Structure 1
């Protein structure tokens, strides 16, 4: 049965604020109904509504409420920070509907910020090497991608960029290409106004963003396909 996203509850962000303050399993269990009603269930509706819209638009990204949402519980096994809960909830829509596939839409609703990203995020060594090679050997194609994204109001993210050229790419001297080759991922972001998460209009906002970012998905997918054929 088709679902419809009607917006996150008005208490979604206040819940995250209170959870961040209490950081208590007892408090969370006492307020689980609030969490599910205001945040978790609406997020599931958002993912499944977007999946339907993306299918109609030929984007191919999909997910569901069981596989796409990340747990609000933190993995504290290898962290000095032992707080048991995140102050955000997030989800991924991908080509195969899992969280491990590359070329995704990531949606983050948090106490600190709300945003979406279309990304090839920290791709494996083989795919990352192929992407860097594509930039170095087909600069016109890459610059065309950057120009198309720029016209759509988007820029490639440089977070986590290497300080030096990776081995084998030291010869690339043109500033824009050298910068891109140092990237560890290829992503664009869209800031979501927290006040706008409570209405169905968020769906249109995210569909529009993903359509504008579609060239990045296509660029990475073509390179991924060549890697898979090798």
Structure 2
């Protein structure tokens, strides 16, 4: 049953701080009710509410209060860091409501910061190549997208970009195009003030951000050959 987002609990961030300090299954189980009421359930409400609002706005992004949330537990099987719990809770809304699609909305509430993103994140090799070929072949489309994002107060994030131009694109000499082709993902971010997570106004903030990021969604979907679905 869908619930309207009213805000995260006042103890949401303090809970994460305490969990990060204890990093104990016993402590987590003793305080699980606090986790659910202050963090997990409100995030589920946020996913439900954004799904409705994104549909109304024609953004083609949706989620599920169970399937869209990432686990608070860390996968430590192959990690040097064996701490069992994350320092954040997060969720993803995508074209088909799963975590497997590209062109997604992501929200992150954590000790390292609160933020949202719209992204083509680490696309598989074939899609990444198609994106790079599109930048090379139709630079005017890429530049129009970047210009639209800039007009909306957003910039493509360059974090994690390759230091060298990938093989097959060495002939691209325009600095902006070469820099874009070195990207491993295409993402814009919005910083959320932690003080602003406790009220329903967060929904409007995130809808506004995602509408401003729509040029990136539309550009990537055109490359994929897909259209928005609601």
The TM tier, using the shorter chain, reads over 0.9
Aligned residue pair count: 226
Within 2, Cα distance between the matches of 1:2 and 1:179?
43
TM-score, length basis structure 2: 0.97
Q: Report the counterpart of residue 170 of structure 1 in structure 2.
A: 170
Q: Report the counterpart of residue 32 of structure 1 in structure 2.
A: 32
The unaligned stretches of length 5 or more in structure 1 are: none
Within 1, Cα distance between the matches of 2:96 and 2:199?
28
Residue 58 of structure 1 and its aligned partner are, at CA, apart by 0.7
Residue 2 of structure 1 and its aligned partner are, at CA, apart by 3.8
Q: Report the counterpart of residue 204 of structure 1 in structure 2.
A: 204
CA contact (8 A) 2:61 2:94 kept: yes
Within 1, Cα distance between the matches of 2:3 and 2:75?
31
**1:195-219 deviations in Å (ceiling 9; x for gaps):** 0000000000000000000110011
Alignment of 1:3-22 (within 5 A): 3-22=3-22
Q: Which segments of structure 1 move beyond 3 Å, counting only runs of 4 or more? A: none
Is the alpha carbon distance of 1:2 and 1:73 closer, same or farther for their aligned partners in structure 2, counting shifts above 3 Å? closer
Which secondary structure state, in structure 2, belongs to the residue aligned with residue 108 of structure 1?
strand
Q: Report the counterpart of residue 85 of structure 1 in structure 2.
A: 85
- Aligned-residue RMSD, C-alpha: 0.8
TM-score, length basis structure 1: 0.97
CA contact (8 A) 2:2 2:45 kept: no
Residue 134 of structure 1 and its aligned partner are, at CA, apart by 0.6
Within 2, Cα distance between the matches of 1:96 and 1:3?
20
**1:160-198 deviations in Å (ceiling 9; x for gaps):** 100000110000011100000000010000000000000
Which secondary structure state, in structure 2, belongs to the residue aligned with residue 92 of structure 1?
strand
Q: Report the counterpart of residue 136 of structure 1 in structure 2.
A: 136
Q: Report the counterpart of residue 49 of structure 1 in structure 2.
A: 49
**1:73-105 deviations in Å (ceiling 9; x for gaps):** 000000010000001000000000001110000
Instruction: Identify which of structures 1 and 2 has the higher relative contact order when contacts are C-alpha pairs closer than 8 Å and 6+ apart.
Output: 2
Within 2, Cα distance between the matches of 1:168 and 1:76?
37
1:158 counterpart = 2:168: no
